[in-house]
């Protein structure tokens, strides 16, 4: 029964779910919202190794606000942020939310998903029940003064990452998002592949294309750390698509072929070098000399890989403490080191002489705004960027998937969790 027409959208009441809880893999009738759902949940008393922190539980399905969308999750993506959530550091996500007024004493992670719109709030116009969507992970308050004043919403003080800082992520039968987080699902992909790319690919897209004039141009050499990792495999493809020359760094020659197939011109094995970590004190001439020799040798290796004596115009950073001094050193004069993380530590030493004398830019970058997500999604829909789906796990093994990531023994590419989708 149609009860109300607002704008172009027909509003129908949600059918009543005939059961309070549905088994995993069995969907309620379209639009019928049960009271409870299965979820992989982190609680503070389990903070620690990911394989122990995540446990299957039955929890209430969240209530949908006026501008929100409830999505039936078909598949979820695995990202490093829920390794951090498991560990309870550097951010205790549950404590932070409760301090801000949230009631739930648990965390449902998962910042990537593909699924079906199951219920919408009364102010939602861009999607309707039954739409197939992928979800982007940045949430912000559209009424926040900085957003209203025209700031990029990802720089807003109200910006939070869904499924990490915000609750009700995708490791559950249903997830709750703001309507602007919904994007059309690429129909050329499986549910699992659809769930695997948005967070890392949109982050890489902003790093590489969001900081003009330091965007990838044809012929630009780009150094990509962790080329076979989640961010790295997206960065290689994006650089390739814009005509740049991706040079990937990995820790094992077994990963070379993977990166080359994605479009890297060449790969470097970081295990051939040992100068990683914080820079020695500049007063310690001997230690500094050793460090400088290591950084110079790495720079030469980059030229060898590129096939010419040119430095990277863009360095795609995320390991942080271990690699940043080298990134700043090898970056071209007038080039940019752009970072979105500090996986190996947050004390990233910068020798300021190289920054100012050679006029390099050191830029922070965090996920992507709505336009950047759309542009990236178009590239995926056109088949120009592959999600690099590596391995699929059931919902009960969310912890194991994150443990592999924590231990850096996960397969190259991006892992996904099958939630409502049926195996093909």
For ligand NAP, the binding residues (CB under 6 A) are 79-81, 199-200, 203, 225-226, 228-232, 250-251, 255, 270, 318-319, 322-323, 340-341, 343-344, 366-367, 405, 408
8-state DSSP, 237: H
Query: In the numeric block, which tokens belong to residue 14?
Result: 């949600």
Compute the Cα dihedral for 218, 258, 274, 362 and give only its sign. Answer: positive
Q: Which of 70/231 has CB closer to ligand NAP?
A: 231
Q: Which of 153/226 has CB closer to ligand NAP?
A: 226
Nearest approach, Cβ of residue 344 and ligand NAP (Å): 4
Q: Which of 173/326 has CB closer to ligand NAP?
A: 326
Nearest approach, Cβ of residue 357 and ligand NAP (Å): 26
DSSP 108-121: ---S-EEEEEEEE-
Q: Which of 14/363 has CB closer to ligand NAP?
A: 363
Strand segments, DSSP code E, in 265-309 are: 266-269
Q: Which residue is nearest to ligand NAP (CB)?
A: 229
Compute the Cα dihedral for 365, 381, 224, 270 and give only its sign. Answer: positive
Distance of CA 268 to the CA centre of its chain: 24
Residue 396 near residue 47 (C-beta atoms within 8 A): no
**Pairing mode, strands 113-120 and 132-135:** antiparallel
Nearest approach, Cβ of residue 167 and ligand NAP (Å): 18
Q: Which of 290/366 has CB closer to ligand NAP?
A: 366
Nearest approach, Cβ of residue 232 and ligand NAP (Å): 6
Nearest approach, Cβ of residue 206 and ligand NAP (Å): 8
Length of the chain: 424
Q: Which of 194/203 has CB closer to ligand NAP?
A: 203
Nearest approach, Cβ of residue 401 and ligand NAP (Å): 11
Strand segments, DSSP code E, in 196-236 are: 221-224
Residues 118 and 131: their CA atoms lie apart, in Å, by 8
| Residue 396: closest CA among 57, 37, 47, 27 | 57
Residue in this structure with the two tokens 């072929």, named with its chain if needed: 257
| Residue 410: closest CA among 179, 226, 134 | 226
SS3 328: helix
Nearest approach, Cβ of residue 283 and ligand NAP (Å): 26
Q: Which of 81/237 has CB closer to ligand NAP?
A: 81
CA distances from 176 to 113, 119, 169, 287 (A): 11, 10, 7, 52
8-state DSSP, 96: H
Residue in this structure with the two tokens 């996960």, named with its chain if needed: 410
Nearest approach, Cβ of residue 257 and ligand NAP (Å): 13
Q: Which of 148/251 has CB closer to ligand NAP?
A: 251
């Amino acid at each position: 029964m149609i009860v109300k027409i607002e704008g172009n959208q027909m509003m129908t009441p949600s059918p009543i779910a005939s059961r309070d809880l549905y088994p995993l893999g069995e969907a309620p009738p379209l639009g019928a919202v049960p009271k409870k759902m299965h979820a992989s949940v982190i609680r503070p008393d389990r903070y620690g190794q990911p394989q122990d922190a995540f446990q299957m539980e039955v929890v209430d399905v969240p209530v949908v606000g006026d501008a929100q969308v409830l999505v039936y999750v078909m598949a979820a993506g695995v990202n490093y942020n829920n390794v951090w959530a498991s560990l309870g550091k550097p951010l205790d996500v549950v404590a932070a939310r409760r301090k801000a007024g949230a009631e739930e004493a648990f965390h449902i992670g998962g910042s990537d998903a593909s699924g079906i719109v199951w219920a919408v709030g009364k102010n939602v116009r861009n999607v309707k029940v039954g739409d197939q969507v992928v979800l982007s992970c940045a949430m912000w308050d559209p009424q926040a003064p900085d957003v209203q004043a025209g700031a990029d919403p990802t720089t807003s003080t109200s910006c939070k990452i869904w499924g990490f800082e915000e609750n009700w992520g995708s490791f559950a039968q249903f997830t709750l998002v703001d309507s602007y987080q919904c994007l059309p699902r690429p129909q050329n992909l499986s549910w699992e592949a659809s769930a695997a790319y948005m967070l890392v690919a949109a982050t890489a897209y902003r790093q590489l294309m969001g900081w003009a004039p330091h965007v990838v141009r044809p012929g630009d050499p780009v150094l990509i750390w962790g080329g076979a990792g989640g961010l790295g495999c997206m960065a290689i493809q994006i650089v390739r698509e814009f005509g740049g020359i991706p040079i990937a760094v990995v820790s094992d020659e077994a990963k070379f072929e993977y990166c080359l197939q994605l479009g890297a011109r060449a790969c470097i094995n970081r295990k051939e070098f040992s100068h990683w970590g914080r820079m020695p004190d500049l007063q310690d001439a001997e230690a500094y000399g050793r460090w400088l020799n290591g950084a110079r040798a790495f720079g030469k290796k980059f030229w060898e890989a590129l096939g010419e004596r040119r430095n990277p115009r863009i360095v795609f950073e995320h390991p942080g403490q271990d690699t940043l001094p080298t990134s700043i050193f090898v970056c071209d004069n007038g080039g940019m080191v752009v970072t979105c993380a500090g996986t190996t530590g947050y004390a990233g030493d910068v020798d300021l002489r190289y920054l100012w004398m050679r006029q390099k830019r050191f830029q922070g970058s965090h996920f992507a705004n709505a336009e950047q997500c759309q542009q990236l999604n178009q590239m995926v829909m056109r088949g120009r960027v592959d999600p690099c789906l590596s391995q699929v796990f059931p919902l009960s093994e969310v912890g194991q998937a994150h443990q592999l990531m924590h231990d850096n023994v996960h397969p190259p590419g991006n892992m996904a969790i099958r939630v409502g989708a049926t195996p093909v």
